Amino acid sequence: MATIEPVMPGPQEMWRIAPEGSLLTAEFDGQTVIYHTGAGHTHWISAVAAEVLNRLGEGPQNETSLYTALSELVSAENLPLLADSLHQTLEDLKHLALIEPA
Amino acid sequence: MIRIRDLSDQELSEHLEEGLDLETGPFVFHIQSKEKSVFNGLRKIYADFPLSNEAVRDFHVRVRRPANLRRWYHPQVVFEHDGEAPFKPLPANHAFASLEWGMNWCIAGYAHHYLTLHAAVLERNGRAVMLPGEPGAGKSTLTAALSLSGWRLLTDETALVDLQTGELWPMARPISLKNTSIDIIQAFSSEAVFSDKALDTHKGTVAHLKPRQETVLRMHEPCRIGWVIFPRWQAESAARLTRRPRADTFVFAAENSFNYSVLGETGFRTLEGVIREAECFDFRYGQLEHALALFESLAA
């Protein structure tokens, strides 16, 4: 029997912070630890993930607008890496149930 | 104040029959047992510990023989907390070890007015070093050697973090050593006093090292964290500290906490305070003497 892979929302799909519980953060030497009160899980997340959660904390956004916001924080030589990194980060955060499609 | 060593053998036996109220740091254990190895362990390892005058006891525990035929053939003992037996019976000669493990279990399972982390803690010059570590990393051996070299032992097993102040509280209990670690520490210091060995336990041979008198006399003195150090013994390795990211240390400590999840946001914020205040390192060592010299320089 064929299995159906879940489809990742495209760049225009909106993302939001998962509504269950809240996210607490602690930053140490530029690195971020996050605690999801809904699940009771703790994660050490990347700088990109921390910034994504920070932006989504202000309200739902799509991948394109997140890319635009984050690109202002990234040096020119790292810009080519940002798109892939952002896409992967969104997948990871969704997998951790920290964000979901809005 | 009456200490265990002030009791005659008969008085100690009578106390153990009726229930002996033992003060260990912030906890009072009401201990009942007729087992000889419990008597011997308390007499030898807890000699400096006071009996409590408090009306309230935190834990009621008992080590007794189960009422079955094995009472005569390969006798066993069972540890009870509030009349319930959380573990399977063990051979009777493991009675004192069983009491120690049971007491640890009580604290790990019920002391939720602290953040409890699986780590040893010692203090020197007013600052505490916390030593988390995976089994086999050499944590208890290093802890024992430090405690016999001028560091005040707060705990070998469970770090107690005050939820209000972030201070570390002593648990003031013996150090559990296994297998070759027992011989290493016996050879290391003539001042090391051990309980009788419990042979063929699920951890191998186990013996408990008597805490030094300073540990017991200062069992109500908390202190602030200075360092979180992850020790790992490695044959022929030079003693070397390498900085460990605080975020990584945080996650490890959280995963090795007994009640971080129970405490939720309070646990997160308490641990954040500890990690923020500490310098965090990985530590490799091959020889105890080199490790002690390095710790000495750290605390100077």
Calculate the alpha carbon distances from B187 to B23, B101, B148, B193 in Å: 30, 25, 12, 12
**Neighboring chain B residues of A44 at a CB cutoff of 8 Å:** 247-248, 250-251
Are B268 and A43 a contacting pair at CB < 8 A? no
**pLDDT, average across residues A22-28:** 95
Q: What is the pLDDT of residue B72?
A: 64
**Neighboring chain A residues of B272 at a CB cutoff of 8 Å:** 26, 33
Q: Does B262 touch chain A (CB under 8 A)?
A: no
Cβ count within 10 A of residue A77: 7
In the structure encoding, which two tokens stand for residue A69, read together? 């916001």
Rounded distance between C-alpha atoms, residue B283 and residue B290, angstroms:
12
User: Which one of A25, A36, A42, A43 makes the best mutation probe of the B interface by having the most chain B beta carbons within 10 Å?
Assistant: A42
Q: Which of A28, A31, A42 sits opposite B254 (nearest CB)?
A: A42
**Neighboring chain A residues of B250 at a CB cutoff of 8 Å:** 26, 28, 33, 42, 44
Q: What is the pLDDT of residue B58?
A: 97
Q: What is the pLDDT of residues B56-99, one digit of tens each?
A: 999 999 999 987 666 666 889 999 999 999 999 999 999 999 99
Q: Is the domain A14-101 a CATH 3.40.50 member?
A: no
Ranges of residues in chain B whose predicted pLDDT is under 70: 68-73
Are B250 and A44 a contacting pair at CB < 8 A? yes
User: Scanning every residue of chain A, which has its alpha carbon at the shortest distance from the alpha carbon of B272?
Assistant: A26
Q: What is the pLDDT of residues A57-88, one digit of tens each?
A: 999 999 999 999 999 988 888 888 898 899 99
User: Scanning every residue of chain A, which has its alpha carbon at the shortest distance from the alpha carbon of B261?
Assistant: A40
**Neighboring chain A residues of B279 at a CB cutoff of 8 Å:** none
Q: What is the pLDDT of residue B21?
A: 97
Q: What is the pLDDT of residue B66?
A: 87
Q: Delimit the domains of chain A by residue range.
A: 14-101
Q: What is the pLDDT of residue A21?
A: 87
Calculate the alpha carbon distances from A83 to A79, A89, B45, B222 in Å: 8, 10, 63, 50
- Asked if the ipTM is above 0.85, the reply is no
Q: What is the pLDDT of residue A2?
A: 53
Q: Delimit the domains of chain B by residue range.
A: 4-110, 114-299
Q: What is the pLDDT of residue B174?
A: 97
Are B250 and A33 a contacting pair at CB < 8 A? yes
Q: What is the pLDDT of residues B165-183, one digit of tens each?
A: 999 999 999 999 999 999 9
Where does the pLDDT of residue A3 fall: very low under 50, low under 70, confident under 90, or very high at 90 and above? low
Q: What is the pLDDT of residue B137?
A: 84
Q: Does B135 touch chain A (CB under 8 A)?
A: no
Q: Does B251 touch chain A (CB under 8 A)?
A: yes
Rounded distance between C-alpha atoms, residue B1 and residue B14, angstroms:
18
Q: What is the pLDDT of residue B52?
A: 96
Q: What is the pLDDT of residue B55?
A: 83
